[in-house]
Amino acid sequence: PPRPRAAPFWTGAAVIVAAIGLAFPLAGLALVVVILFDLLLVRHIAPLRRVLN
């Protein structure tokens, strides 16, 4: 099915991710690296976006 245009923000999931990032610093670092990879590379390089989406 197609993705909805306006997906809601999952506050509960964000709290869990933040707690894991604080409890386990390497997990938090990995999350930051993945988010930066997505923001800086995947969104701006079309072939990479097609492969990873």
**pTM of the entire structure?**
0.61
For 36, the 3-state DSSP assignment is: helix
Higher-scoring residue by pLDDT: 12, 48? 12
What pLDDT was estimated at residue 41? 85
Domain annotation covers residue 45: yes
Number of domains in the chain: 1
What are the tokens at 46? 């079309």
The phi, psi pair for 3, rounded to 5°, reads -75, 140
What residues make up the domain containing 45? 25-53
pLDDT confidence of 53, banded at 50, 70, 90? confident
Tens-place pLDDT, residues 20-40: 989 999 998 998 999 898 888
Domain annotation covers residue 14: no
Identify residue 27 by its one-letter amino acid code.
Answer: A
Higher-scoring residue by pLDDT: 29, 6? 29
Q: Which residues contact 32 (CB under 8 A, 6 or more apart)?
A: 21
Residue given tokens 């969104």 in the structure block: 43
Domain annotation covers residue 53: yes
Domain annotation covers residue 3: no
